[in-house]
Amino acid sequence: MIDLSPGDALPLEPTVYLVDDDDAVRGALGFLLGTVGLNVRPFADGLALERALDAGGPPAIGCLLLDIRMPHISGLQLQVRLQERGVDLPVILLTGHADVELCRRAFRQGAADFLSKPVDGTELLEAVQRAVRQHVRGRQRQAASGQARERLSRLTVREHEVLRGMLNGQTSKQIARALAISARTVETHRASLFTKLEADSLAEVIRIALAGEAAV
């Protein structure tokens, strides 16, 4: 099974989208991945994967395992096309013709890993495990950012101004002077933004504000 920390609990079993034009490779890798509890969706080429994603909606938690040299569209080309479509699955690229330039291109394009064929089983499983963790954490950050943006959208313009002062380390009196309002009014806005952000501490307010900014 994929080894995840307690904070990485998954709603579904991870899925590896395996794209390789060699039937024997797809069979062998699919069997290996299945032995550790992974769902495997095999495809003979990138176009078949794209059609499946079009028909099935957003991909599940998991990763992409792509052969670099395939007919119709290479693994590197497919990586770029999927990124342009907004597919957030981490990519592990496989090749029987490893060279430095291909490796550089893969990582420049955001690949999570790059493995040479014949693939060592332990090395592959470790790479998939890292990629799944990466995907889980990315989805968690995305969800947290969305929640933070929603909470921040509840604030009035004045409350946002008070919040900016708080983030800059200003006291209520300093914020009041900067905004030309009373310190008591600042305290009222502070209490209101704490309620709207559903925060119990200044640290939580800062965390929500930073998460919301990171999503923009």
Task: Say what the pLDDT of residue 128 is.
Answer: 94
Cα 133 to chain center, whole Å?
9
Q: Is the pLDDT of residue 116 over 90?
A: no
CB burial of residue 35 (10 Å; 0-12, 13-18, 19+): exposed
The pLDDT of 67-73, averaged and rounded, is: 86
Is the CB of residue 99 less than 8 Å from the CB of residue 76? no
Please check the confidence at residue 6 and state whether its pLDDT lies above 90: no
pLDDT above 50 for 143: yes
Do 6-145 and 154-214 fold alike per CATH?
A: no
pTM of the model: 0.66
User: 154-214 is classed in which CATH architecture?
Assistant: Orthogonal Bundle (1.10)
Q: What confidence category does residue 1 fall into, taking pLDDT thresholds of 50, 70 and 90?
A: very low
Question: In the chain, how long is the greatest CA-to-CA distance?
Answer: 74
- Domain 6-145 matching CATH 3.60.9.10: the answer reads no
Lowest average pLDDT, out of 79-88, 178-187, 189-198, goes to 79-88
Q: Which residue ranges make up each domain of the chain?
A: 6-145, 154-214
Among 54-68, 69-83, 127-141, 158-172, top mean pLDDT goes to: 158-172
